[in-house]
Every structure is written in C-alpha cells, then in structure tokens.
Structure 1
C-alpha cells in the first residue's frame, strides 16, 4: 500500500519542475511546496486512518480494489481514480519534458542536446515525445504494483540525496550554506536513513536497480564537461574529511618510516623543466608530491608591467604580466602529471633575486601541514649561477630539507632509464637518502641497481665487500641489487665505471658545485648529488 500511496503525494515536485516558468520561484516554490505537503499529509493520513478503521488489515494487504468496492457510488470512485491518474500524468507531461529540456540545454549527459529542441510554440516537442514513449513502454511491460514500486525507488533516492546534501553542508560548516528555512541536523540525517530503509523494505531488487541507474548517471555526469553552473558538495566534503584526518595526524609523532619523496623544485630554465619532469615523476611515484616554483625578478617584472599599462592605454596590444604568463606556463607543463593523478603544486614568486625568493618559499611551505622534505635543484648549463646553487643547498639544509642536485647531461639525458649506479663510501652521512632515491628509480624504471664503492688499494677490497653485503642485508635491499668494488683513484675510475643511465653520489658537507660538474663530465652521464636530513631512514 505504501508504494501505491507514495507516488500520489509526489505532486509536491510540480512547482519545482515548473520553476523556469514562475515569476518568483524563490518565493513561490517554498510556499507552494509546504502548502502541498500540508494538504497532502492531512488528506492521505485521514484516508489511511479511515481505511484502517473500516476494513480488516488482512483485506487491505491483498485487495488492491478495496477503494472501489467500499464506495457508495462506485462509478464516482472510478472517475476519481481516473481523474487523479490523468491529472498526475498531465503534471508529469508538463514537468518531466522541461527537466529534460534544461538538461539538454546544459548538455548534462551524453546525447542530451536532442532534448534542447523546441517547436514554434516554444514547447520541448522532442522531450515530450520521449516522455510519452517511455511512459507507454513502462505501462505495457509492467503491472501497476511494479511501476509504483519502481517509481517509489527513484523518488526516495531523490529525497534521500536532498537530505544527505543538506546534512553534509550543515556538517562541514561552509559559510555559503545559508538556507532561509533552517532545520536541525538530525532531521536531514534521519530523512536520509529513512529513505534508504524504506526503499529496501518495499523492494530490495528495485532498490538495487535504482541505485545502479543513479550511479551510472552520476558517473556520466562527472565525466561530462558541462558548462552549467552546478555547485556540489564533493570537494567541500573531501576537504572537510582531509582536515579532520590532518588534525588527528598532527597530534602524532613523526617517524622516518612514513617518509616519501616530496620534492620542492625551484625552476630557472623552463625548457629544461620539460626534460626533467619525467625523471621527477619516476622519483616520486606512486604517492610522492611535487611543489614547483619559479622566482621572477621583481625589478624587471615591474618595468614590464608598467610598459603593459602604458601600451594598454594607447590601444596597442600589451604583453602579459610575467608572473601571470609564467603561472600559466607552469600549469600547462605539469598538466600531464596532474592528469596521471600525481599531486603537483606550482607557484610563481616575485623577489629581488632567486636565492631570496627561494628561501622565502622554503620558509613558507615548511610551515604547511604537508611540507616538502627534499629540495631538487637542476644545475644550469653554464656556471654563472653556481653560487646560487650552493646557497640554495645550504639554505635548504638550514630549513631541515634534504637536497638533490641534478647535473643534466644534454647528450646522454637519462639514457634508457634502466640502470642506476649508486656510489657509496663507508660511514657516508648521505646513505639513507641515496638508498631511498635509488630504490625509487629502480622500481619505477623497472631497472637494475648497482652499488659501487671505490677503494684505494687491493687490500681494502674485502673489507669494502663485507661492508656492502652488510649494507644490503641491513637495508633490506632486493636480492638482484649488484655490488661492484673498484680499486684506484676516484676521478680516474669514473670513466671505467659500469655503464648506467644515472649515477648517484653523496654530497660533501660544504656543497662543491664545480666537483659535481667535473664528475658529470668525466662519467659522461647525468648525475645526482644528495645530502641527507634527519627526516629519512633506509633502516625504517
């Protein structure tokens, strides 16, 4: 009986369906809806109460024609049922095509543009015909009870989602949620639970069907690039949940075991960034983060911006503000990574010089809840900015960051992206970061990791081998990690080293940028020089 009664009171949606044709929908819809609810509630509660008093409950459960049989003038009851049915049908024929029309105008779902067509009289003829055809098919292939149950499922889902949306927006406390009609949070919560419970109480099979249909439509909707303004609560809900977890996590101590590469990348050469981005991706995958920033010289930026305003006043084409242009360019360069669901942030900072701007960024992001833990710097081709590189490394260490300095070889690039040589020395203070980065590259390149150590005489070979075997065991390195011991002078042996696509070295306490360039030139590959902080541990 509930499934038959329920669609009868859904006429309260008629006003909302016609909102596009109301003079003042903001005022008319609430008044009309509340009035309809009140009248419908009174009529149907009294009618249900009268049936329960006059007719045995067993009879009500099985006899769907009891209203006709109990009527004094049966033909009037039949006429009333026919009138109500036709009235509901007409209301749906008026409202439903206009809903399809609105969806078609905004291309909400694929192929919906067809329903945006209107005839000479302004009627959505295509949507009306589709509604009529769908209604006829439903009537031909289903009984009244089945149709009532199916319709009830979708109405309950609609009401349930409205209640859920209200409950979520009340819970996350966003200022934009300012309803003129306020209710306690328990009401939308209980409304959501009740709608779902009643659905499965009526018919579990149709409930599953309705949920699947709604889910498919939702997936299509979020994949459709609709131009309609359609605010939703997904982002607000996710931010709220993330904030709650962040608050809980902030109360817990940090352990090196949870370390993952979160790189802070200052950019000087925008063209070289294109070459380095795939390499950065292979360092941070699968769950690391990138924060990429570019420092703009404030003096040159202000001069160009002044020129822009002068040319704009003269009516000539004005250049784009450098900061805005670089922001757009950075966003475009990292779009591919974001499309791969990699967490990337970009920023452009104005400062008198690169070092000052970079330090400001380090200090700023260091106070965030998700701060970078490693600075990644790419050396320029020439050495005129080496003092900046050295200053950045020292400042990053002062801010508690690890350091990775890349000398990119334009001839070798990153080779086949397979073999990794990790050069170590006994008791190296940089062994933890070196091991972790080498393992990241090995995994994401699906390549070979080789640990290389240099000793000055043959007598030290066995001791070095024992150290590397112990290191391999203690650090829980994969069994296929290779070990190579070289005897002689370090710089002389670079040319004889096993071939690799990237060579990784530890950095001296005081950064020697000239040494990095010399090593890269001697070995003939791109090289990484790394410095540990206290945040990582390969033993964890």
Structure 2
C-alpha cells in the first residue's frame, strides 16, 4: 500500500485526494524498508513471498475482476502512454521504420466482416490494430452497437488490438469522410482503409470519392474483391507490379508499390506460404531489366524465398491455381474500375487493389 501511495502521488490523478498528505519520499522509504526487513529475516521465504504475490496478481488479472472505480494500473498505463506519445510527436523526420498495418474498416453491415476477417487478421497481426467504423442511421444503429463489440472481441481473441465506433451521417461518402477526418488527428492513426470492390456504377463514384479523401488525408486504401480469403493453405500470395514511372530502376523507394509490397510480405509471413512476384512488362525489350529490378528489390527488402515471373500481356497475369490464393495489384487515386474488373477476371482469385499513403517504404 505504501508503494501505491507513491505511485498515485506521482501520477497526479484527480481521484487521489487524501485528507492526510505526506511527502512522496515517506512511502518510498516504507516500501524499501519492508523489502529489506523481509530479506533480512529470511532470504528464501522472502523470495517465496514475492513469488506468491506475483502468482496471485497474475491470477486476479486473468480473472478480470472489475472494481467499482477501477484501480491505479489504468492511471499508470495512461500516464506512460501519454508520455510516450508526447516524445514520439516531438521527433522530426519520416517514420517508415516504425510503419504498422493499422487498419480502418468501414462497416455498413457487420455480417460482411465475416468474409474478410481472415484477411484483416493476417494483415494486422502481430502488432497492428483494427479499428471498426460503423456507418449507420436509425435503421441499423442498435444492430451496430450490438455486433461491433462482438467483432472487436473476436480480433482480441486473435491477439489483435481492436476498437469500434459508430458514425451517423446523411450518405455513405459523407459518413466515411467524416470518420477519416475525425480519426486522422488521433495519435494512433490508421495507416490504411479497407473497402469492398464496387459492384455498380453508383457505388463506383462513392468509392472513388473515398479513395481521393484517403489520399488527401495520407491514408492508404485497399479494395477487396472476392470472398475466399480464409483459404490460406491452398495457395500463396501473387504480387503484380506495373512498370514504374521512371522505368525499371531502383530508387530510395518503390514509387507507388510500397504498401502493396508490404502487405504481400505480411500475408506471406503470417500464413507461412509462398510468394510470386510478377513484373508486367508493357514495353518490348525490357524483360531483363524487369527481372533484375525484381531481384534487386527482393534483396533490398530482405524477403526470402520469392519466385519471379514476367508477364508481357495482362492475359499472362494468372499463375497456376496452386501457387496463388490472393493476387495483389497497386493503384493510384485515379482508379479505373473497368481495368480493375478485367484484371479480376484474368487473375481468377481473390484480389486486392492497393494505394500507397505516402508513409510507407518497403526498403526501410
């Protein structure tokens, strides 16, 4: 108890307001004296006593017993998080080294998350998070507030930190734009937004606007097409890269393909599967340059066991069904849905279309 008194004084919580105030050094001396006396009396039993206390504490933590007003741990961890956040915010320069797959998932119907849950899980783990953003009106508000916590708990069961919130606005783009702008100022901000591939012309315009909003807010975008994302054991990851703007030359980054490359690597690692890297060589005579480019980026990005492939036409995108369960393409905010639909048809597998945020660097 004397140690807790010193902790609470240091945290300066408003809930800590004792009628009798004593200097902070007094409880610290008391705690040190207790430990010293315990080991002076008997070292063995002192060690046993500390072990018993640790075991009991661990047991009670796993029981998740809820006290009426919580305990000092929440204040301690909050203070540490705020201190760490302020230190990180004061650091200047890029943060590509500390990039994490922090995923923002708009949810119009909570049942839609079931199909993409394995994909979200394998993108976010082990140290990313999933933020579920419920987009709702009066019609399904209660359904959202009931099911989103259950989905959050499912991610937590897979050791993925997850949160949820609900936003009410007039239209789908307005809801999502409001959510992106509101969450953009958070310290633990999302690094990408996951959207379903549009299946109608009206929906295409809404998705196009959202992608442009994501680009303005330095947020990556991931368009998901297909449903069989849980079949990880039946195939690997197939990443297709288009010819870079400056040709097949290595720079300090991969241009507009960094996020696609990082996601391909995370899926390869988390699913313990194979990876095929295909260069789409749209100009004649560049096959050797494209092959050397792929070999160089794989070496610089430190990704082992990657197969290389060349495609001189879009009809050659597909690899053997046993080699590809997910096909990944990179895109920009100037999306061409007709071209994307053609690629989905040719790939004959679930597809991910990925837009960089500008914060990623696969070579870091």
**TM-score after normalising by structure 2:** 0.90
| 1:393 CA displacement | 0.6
How far apart, CA to CA, are the structure 1 residues paired with 2:129 and 2:239? 23
What are the equivalent positions in structure 2 for 1:380-459 lying under 5 Å apart?
384-407=202-225, 409-410=226-227, 412-417=228-233, 418-427=235-244, 429-456=255-282, 459=285
Q: Does 1:244 align with 2:69?
A: no
* Greater strand fraction, Structure 1 or Structure 2: 2
Could you list the runs of 5+ residues in structure 2 that have no partner in the other structure?
A: 246-254
How far apart, CA to CA, are the structure 1 residues paired with 2:205 and 2:241? 26
Q: Deviations over 1:398-428 (max 9, x none)?
A: 1111111111x24x44533440000012326
- Structure 1 equivalent of residue 248 of structure 2: none
What are the equivalent positions in structure 2 for 1:106-255 lying under 5 Å apart?
162-226=1-65, 229=68, 231-253=70-92, 254-255=94-95
| 1:228 CA displacement | 5.9
* Greater helix fraction, Structure 1 or Structure 2: 1
How far apart, CA to CA, are the structure 2 residues paired with 1:521 and 1:272? 22
- Of 319, 322, 328, which aligns to 1:504? 328
From the superposition, tell whether residues 467 and 217 of structure 1 become closer, same or farther in structure 2 (CA, over 3 Å): closer
| 1:470 CA displacement | 2.2
How far apart, CA to CA, are the structure 2 residues paired with 1:352 and 1:458? 50
Give 3-state SS (helix, strand or coil) of 1:459's partner. Answer: coil
| 1:537 CA displacement | 0.4
Could you list the runs of 5+ residues in structure 1 that have no partner in the other structure?
A: 1-161, 305-321
Q: Does 1:473 align with 2:288?
A: no
Greater Rg, structure 1 or structure 2?
Answer: 1
User: Could you tell me whether the CA contact under 8 Å between 1:390 and 1:512 is conserved in 2?
Assistant: no
How far apart, CA to CA, are the structure 1 residues paired with 2:63 and 2:191? 37
- Of 170, 175, 191, which aligns to 1:352? 170
User: Could you tell me whether the CA contact under 8 Å between 1:430 and 1:530 is conserved in 2?
Assistant: no
- Structure 2 equivalent of residue 461 of structure 1: 287
How far apart, CA to CA, are the structure 2 residues paired with 1:516 and 1:264? 22
How far apart, CA to CA, are the structure 1 residues paired with 2:288 and 2:66? 69
How far apart, CA to CA, are the structure 2 residues paired with 1:288 and 1:245? 17
User: Could you tell me whether the CA contact under 8 Å between 1:422 and 1:504 is conserved in 2?
Assistant: yes
User: Could you tell me whether the CA contact under 8 Å between 1:375 and 1:401 is conserved in 2?
Assistant: yes
| 1:384 CA displacement | 4.2
User: Could you tell me whether the CA contact under 8 Å between 1:413 and 1:525 is conserved in 2?
Assistant: no
Which gives a bigger RCO, structure 1 or 2 (Cα 8 Å, sep 6+)?
Answer: 2
**TM-score after normalising by structure 1:** 0.62
From the superposition, tell whether residues 226 and 455 of structure 1 become closer, same or farther in structure 2 (CA, over 3 Å): closer
How far apart, CA to CA, are the structure 2 residues paired with 1:271 and 1:517? 24
- Structure 2 equivalent of residue 51 of structure 1: none
From the superposition, tell whether residues 534 and 381 of structure 1 become closer, same or farther in structure 2 (CA, over 3 Å): closer
How far apart, CA to CA, are the structure 2 residues paired with 1:224 and 1:260? 31
User: Could you tell me whether the CA contact under 8 Å between 1:390 and 1:513 is conserved in 2?
Assistant: no
- Structure 1 equivalent of residue 116 of structure 2: 276
From the superposition, tell whether residues 406 and 213 of structure 1 become closer, same or farther in structure 2 (CA, over 3 Å): same
How far apart, CA to CA, are the structure 1 residues paired with 2:64 and 2:103? 32
User: Could you tell me whether the CA contact under 8 Å between 2:276 and 2:309 is conserved in 1?
Assistant: yes
| 1:325 CA displacement | 3.3
Question: How many residues in Structure 1 have an aligned counterpart in Structure 2?
Answer: 351
User: Could you tell me whether the CA contact under 8 Å between 1:435 and 1:538 is conserved in 2?
Assistant: yes
Give 3-state SS (helix, strand or coil) of 2:223's partner. Answer: strand
- Structure 1 equivalent of residue 310 of structure 2: 485
